Amino acid sequence: MKIVIPDWSTMSAVNMGFSVFEEFGEVVCCGMTRPEEAAEKIGDADVVLVNKTPITAQVMDACPNLKYIGLFATGYNNIDIPAATARGITVCNAGTYSTDAVVQHTFALLLSLAGNLPRYEKAVADGEWERSETFSYFPYPVHELCGKTFAVIGYGSIGRGVAKVADAFGMRVIVSTRSKPENCPYALVTMDEAFRQADVLSVHCPLTEQTAHLINRENLAKMKPEAYLINTARGGIVDEAALAEALNAGRLAGAGVDVLDKEPMRPDTPLKAAKNCIITPHIAWSALETRDRLVQIVAGNLRSWLEGHPTNQVNG
């Protein structure tokens, strides 16, 4: 069996490397693959293990041996799922491998905003504290989270995780999600109510036709001017031009985003120069422990498929 990994560079510095997959067959590992190169790189492979390289219907047609697509990711919007299903190709994602890391990064962004940490770090580096007349130098506002309303959009494993941590901070947690979750200890609200009530709006839903540009001018206009927006889900959920306008006009206090609509970041990204916007380069998922876990999950998914009982299948 031939296995192709077209974008291993996205998993760089994983302790175990890709040798874990060699027990299943011949492994061809590529650093990065441009979309137009995907069919050529995959070629006659039976299996492709992929992170973000698009696997389109055209790629599948050009690779007739392809029977299995395993994702180094939870999201699978880079795979043409209907095309894979029609061709009998099994697609399996990595489930909840990154929950703890993404929850951690969500609050890293929020705490940086609430504590004005980037501005204070710069102030100290610039010698402002050294020139201060008082022992405590606080020209920029710092806010407590306790008592504030934390709105969670999407209540999967990550949404549940951030809700639990927000609750531990003493925040009032509200949840907006498509389907009513069982045993949810928090108030369930409509999307409109989430935007209107939130002091912090944290996005944890998948990118779909329904959620694309969910964070748009209309919904941003509903938010409190002192509110924060956090997005560690998918960049396409946010209309970046609308968010930049809201930030620059003072209609929103701040935003912390780990994902952008176009990645890597482009020079003309609207949020690049937006006020009070913290951008990190899609690293919420990337803790070393998380990536090691991810490789093991992907290997386990492949093993289960070969044994005839696929796990984490998204098109079954």
Tokens 């990337």 appear where? Answer: 286
Q: How is residue 78 written in tokens?
A: 């880079």
263 in active site: yes
Burial of 125 (0-12, 13-18, 19+ CB in 10 A): exposed
218 in active site: no
* Residue among 160, 234, 291, 293 flagged as catalytic: 234
Report the Cα 56 to chain-centroid distance in Å.
Answer: 22
For residues 238, 242, 243, 249, the Cα torsion angle rounded to the nearest 10 degrees is -170
* Residue among 105, 160, 282, 291 flagged as catalytic: 282
CA neighbours within 13 Å on the CB side: how many for 63? 29
- Distance (Å) of CA 112 to CA 37, 95, 251, 267: 40, 28, 19, 24
Contact (CB, 8 A) for 65 and 45 = yes
Q: For 69, phi and psi rounded to 5 degrees?
A: -120, 120
- Distance (Å) of CA 228 to CA 112, 199, 247: 11, 6, 10
**Catalytic residue ranges:** 234, 263, 282
